[in-house]
Structure 1
Amino acid sequence: MKKIFSNMRLSLLAVGVMATMQCCNIDIDPTDRYTDVAVWKNPSNIELYISGMYAEFQTFKFGAFPIGYSNASDALSDIMKYTANVAGNGTVNILATDASRVTASTPQLSYWQAAYTRIRRINEFLDGMTKYATIDENAKAGYEAEARFVRGYVYFWLARLHGSFVIMDNMSQYSTNARERSSEEDCWKFIAQDFQYAADHLPVIPVKSGRATKGAAYAMLARTWLYAASIAEYDQKLYNSDPLTGVAAANAPAYYQNAANAAQAVKDLASQGYYKLESVFSKKNTTEAVFKISFVAPQLTHTYDLTYTPPGDAPGQALSLGVPTAELVNEFEMADGTRFSWSNASQAANPYVGRELRFYSTILYNGAPWKGRNINTTAANATEGFTQFGVNTDPRRTVTGYYIKKNLDSLNTTFVTYGSTQDWVEIRYAEVLLIHAEAEAKLNHISSAQSSLNEVRNRAGLPNTNASTTVQLMEAVEHERKVELAFEGHRYWDLRRWRKAHTVLNNVRFTGHKISAAGTGYTYETVSADNANRQFTGALYYIPIPASELQNNTALTQIKGW
């Protein structure tokens, strides 16, 4: 036994050095001897374990979801189209057009097993620290706050997917494999409790780069209550008869108020100089980042540029998997705040001139300056020009006439060999303002909602909103979230919580623009970027629990309808 613990401590020290180098990316999976007093005597072990927990945030970096080769969830929505139509690079397209693929045996959007593995590790950490750690109570509270921040994030994803799940918050619950699901309302409340505890005990300034703060906890708390309020208002038990799904409609106002209060707490920190809006989305060390994961070469990199950059950046090697749809491109306003329209002859003649600032930071369009050249997405261009979706199984070229610019590194020319190091910002101050605007609009606090919405718009050089009623403000918020948060992994989940996915994402094909040279100008033909209608049924608002988990847990019941 002594030899086992000696080896364990040596391993912890070795991995600790690596974790420090890799900015909290190393995750230690404790054994059943994890809580032994010999391990907990060394405070550096506690630091190592808590650092490793942050690896969970990388599961969903840059809006990815672990289906296929980490396809982006935005491609399940109306703002992004993946270019491949085969499993792997194009799995997301298959799911978007075939709702029957989601079954209890193959839920497709599955995080259950990975989530509960992480939750057990966190609960083991909390149990071991309580029993054996010799650090002072304030330090214990700080570490517990970080652990519960991560646990709240994991549970938040389970709630997004399933609504109702099994709440595991202490080690005594692991003595039996018969554990029931809690109601969806209790699940959202439990997540909120974790984030509230984190907000109460975390520092305003992170103890180390990439670690949770008071502002991050309040931001996640605001996001949590907004989701709970949305389900309460919009679900109304219309899409599932499971007795444990849904949130009481009567509680919507209270939950919107909770969301507004938490968002206001972040706004208060911003007024003290901790956060502010910036004009560049992916700037390193941006003060707009409320919580982020940092990457440092060569130890810790990612493949965002390789995945989304135009093929002209690395011919034959760039993947160019996800591209913007025309539905997103058309959503960006003109610089003076008027809506763009292809019916406007002047705008249609030069559709990429005079648009709002976010358009130029988000979209690479035909003629856009990029890395010393001008992007050419005309159908005649063999390198990065338009190709019809479905003609080639994995074309690695645009099928909409556009490429993503947001979050790409314009200075990185060696990403194929050395990867990328842009930060992943899990939650930005702009999102907090939009949460506040939505919650306040729902509470009929018109001027407050307008104020937060206008902060986001004014940063983009746009005039104040004209919205002056709750209905108008919600339309404005939906528009702003679609544009401001594009490619950050929000759109699909927004449509789900608003219970709009079964109308926006069903029986429809999204589009692109086939651009051709014509004299001294261009012609723009709207073409389908899908080769089959999208499908989203009401049942998909609650993804089934993997059938294998029902065998592992004798008290676990499947969500009704599956």
Structure 2
Amino acid sequence: GLAASLLPETHSGDAKGRATKGAALALKARVLLYAASDLYNTTVFPGYSNPELIGYTSGNRADRWTAAKNAAKAVIDLGLYSLYKAEPAPTDSVAQNLAELFIAQNTEEDIFIKYFTTNQRQMYGIVTGPNGYHNWGTNAPIQEMVDSYEMKDGSKFDWNNPAHASLPYANREPRFYATVLYEGAVWKPRPADVQNVDPVGIIQVGKWERWDEESQSVKIHYGVDTRQSTVENWNGSYTGYYLRKGLDPTVDAQYFYATVPWRWMRYAEVLLNYAEACIELGGADLQQGLDALNLVRKRAGMPPRVTNDQAEARVFVRHERRIELAFEEHRFFDVRRWVIGPEVYKPIKVADVTYKMDPVTKITATVPTIVPKDFEVWSWNDKAYFFPILRGEMSKNSKLIQNPGY
């Protein structure tokens, strides 16, 4: 649109980080993708008095998907962006490549990012990191998210598979290791006051059953990254996991602020936007969508998706967005535009991690038993597909019509 025609392709110097032609076109592509989605093209609120205010009541939905496809293609055709390390070398750690992407100052994948200086007091590190590093651990993956990562061969993880259940963090896809800190994950050196407990820097979210000779009973010892930690028992994750994505391991977040940029828009999203629009159009466009999706999977070290079935392809692209764009502020909106709230907002599970003691030998296992356990009960209300118009705004203008359910 007009903004794209007026903005430069790149910025430098003090203008670095400002909007560019590509950013304007990428935003247009995202908006048009949303506009073509189920929330605005199906009857979610059949009794609502003004359906024209919350969705389309006329026009052709295929035209909307075509507009979304063309908008994403316009970003691709700029030729300015590409996936970071799009074709991993045989000797590469793909997980390390992906971890680097989210802490690098600049990559060829960046379309619109926010830069930070230490004076801006970026608190992502201390808010997100484990409490065994004197961080807070408030932004943590839940079990359902962890389970959604595939095995490295592209098959689904399954708790009913004994091999998976016995070693749930083994042989998972690279994006799992780039995104999640889990029991036994090697992270970074501990702070000085924790070195005596863990000199290596391995995540401890489990508990150990150990025989106590003096009391002749089993005592429970908790890992330093649990909420029963000897380091900090008032912080920490409730889920048995921590988020790695976007954490700079070279920064001691307890004392220092990071300068890790926040990526509002990156090329992988554009490819997935294009893929989704093509898949929803179906027919001759479906393979184009899969081709774009498979570029993202190739970079992630994953096998390609193959199908001629539109419904299956839709499952593929929705899954890919969940994994590739995890914790980048997309899932909240994807759940709503796809109208899948009831499927997603269910009672959540977390990981119970226990190194069990053999009651006969009194020897504690070196491999933990990991079991998903119920944690919180969530429920869905359809009115949450839209935010309410604030009461203060409603009181200013009697002609405003409130969103459904409020």
Question: Where on the TM-score scale, by shorter chain, does this alignment land: which range?
Answer: 0.7 to 0.9
Q: 1:353 aligns with which of 129, 152, 170?
A: 170
Instruction: Tell me if structure 1 keeps the 8 A contact 2:32–2:64.
Output: yes
Partner of 1:529: helix, strand, or coil? strand
Q: 1: distance between equivalents of 2:379 and 2:57? A: 28
Instruction: Tell me if structure 1 keeps the 8 A contact 2:175–2:324.
Output: yes
Is 1:199 matched up with 2:12? no
Instruction: Tell me if structure 2 keeps the 8 A contact 1:378–1:386.
Output: no
Is 1:293 matched up with 2:128? no
Q: 2: distance between equivalents of 1:308 and 1:485? A: 17
Aligned residue identity for 2:110: A
Percent sequence identity over matched residues? 34
User: Cα offset for 1:233?
Assistant: 6.1
Instruction: Tell me if structure 1 keeps the 8 A contact 2:39–2:339.
Output: no
Q: 2: distance between equivalents of 1:249 and 1:397? A: 50
Q: Cα 1:242–1:493, aligned 2, differ >3 Å: closer, same or farther?
A: farther
Is 1:511 matched up with 2:342? no
Q: 1:262 aligns with which of 62, 71, 87?
A: 71
User: Cα offset for 1:363?
Assistant: 0.2
Aligned residue identity for 1:301: R
User: Cα offset for 1:459?
Assistant: 0.6
Q: Note the aligned Cα RMSD (angstroms).
A: 1.9
Aligned residue identity for 2:335: L
1:295-314 alignment, distance < 5 Å: 295-297=116-118, 299-314=119-134
Instruction: Tell me if structure 1 keeps the 8 A contact 2:185–2:203.
Output: yes
Q: Cα 1:538–1:376, aligned 2, differ >3 Å: closer, same or farther?
A: same
Q: 1:340 aligns with which of 151, 157, 175?
A: 157
Corresponding position of 1:214: 21
Corresponding position of 1:396: 235
Aligned residue identity for 2:16: S
Aligned residue identity for 2:55: G
Aligned residue identity for 1:449: G
Q: 1:469 aligns with which of 309, 324, 327?
A: 309
1:503-526 CA distance string (max 9 Å, x none): 321xx2111111111323111121
Is 1:230 matched up with 2:34? no
Q: 2:276 aligns with which of 424, 431, 438?
A: 438
User: Cα offset for 1:347?
Assistant: 2.1
Q: 2: distance between equivalents of 1:366 and 1:560? A: 44
Is 1:524 matched up with 2:365? no
Q: 2: distance between equivalents of 1:480 and 1:555? A: 42
User: Cα offset for 1:354?
Assistant: 1.3
Count of paired positions: 350
Corresponding position of 2:202: 374
Partner of 1:369: helix, strand, or coil? coil
Aligned residue identity for 1:397: G
Q: 1: distance between equivalents of 2:205 and 2:29? A: 40
User: Cα offset for 1:416?
Assistant: 3.0
Partner of 2:329: helix, strand, or coil? coil
Corresponding position of 1:483: 323
User: Cα offset for 1:276?
Assistant: 2.5
Aligned residue identity for 1:481: R
Q: 2:342 aligns with which of 498, 502, 505?
A: 502
Higher-helix-fraction structure: 1
Corresponding position of 1:365: 182
Q: Cα 1:232–1:349, aligned 2, differ >3 Å: closer, same or farther?
A: closer
1:427-485 CA distance string (max 9 Å, x none): 11111111111000011111101111001111110011033321111101111111111
User: Cα offset for 1:395?
Assistant: 4.1
Instruction: Tell me if structure 1 keeps the 8 A contact 2:83–2:267.
Output: yes
TM-score (norm 1): 0.60
Is 1:384 matched up with 2:189? no
1:265-276 alignment, distance < 5 Å: 265-269=74-78, 272-276=79-83
1:375-397 CA distance string (max 9 Å, x none): 0110342531266xxxxxx9422
> What 5-or-longer segments of structure 2 have no aligned partner?
86-96, 190-200, 208-220, 357-364
User: Cα offset for 1:259?
Assistant: 1.1
Aligned residue identity for 2:152: A
Q: 2:291 aligns with which of 451, 460, 467?
A: 451
Partner of 2:333: helix, strand, or coil? helix
Q: Which moved more, 1:432-441 or 1:340-349?
A: 340-349
Q: 2: distance between equivalents of 1:429 and 1:239? A: 37
Instruction: Tell me if structure 2 keeps the 8 A contact 1:509–1:534.
Output: yes
User: Cα offset for 1:339?
Assistant: 1.3
Is 1:429 matched up with 2:264? no
Q: 2: distance between equivalents of 1:292 and 1:420? A: 15
1:267-295 CA distance string (max 9 Å, x none): 122xx353333433312212211100001
Q: Cα 1:368–1:245, aligned 2, differ >3 Å: closer, same or farther?
A: same
Corresponding position of 1:89: none
Q: Cα 1:399–1:232, aligned 2, differ >3 Å: closer, same or farther?
A: closer
1:46-65 alignment, distance < 5 Å: none
Aligned residue identity for 1:432: V
User: Cα offset for 1:558?
Assistant: 2.3
TM-score (norm 2): 0.82
User: Cα offset for 1:206?
Assistant: 2.4
Corresponding position of 2:392: 548
Q: 1: distance between equivalents of 2:47 and 2:132? A: 47
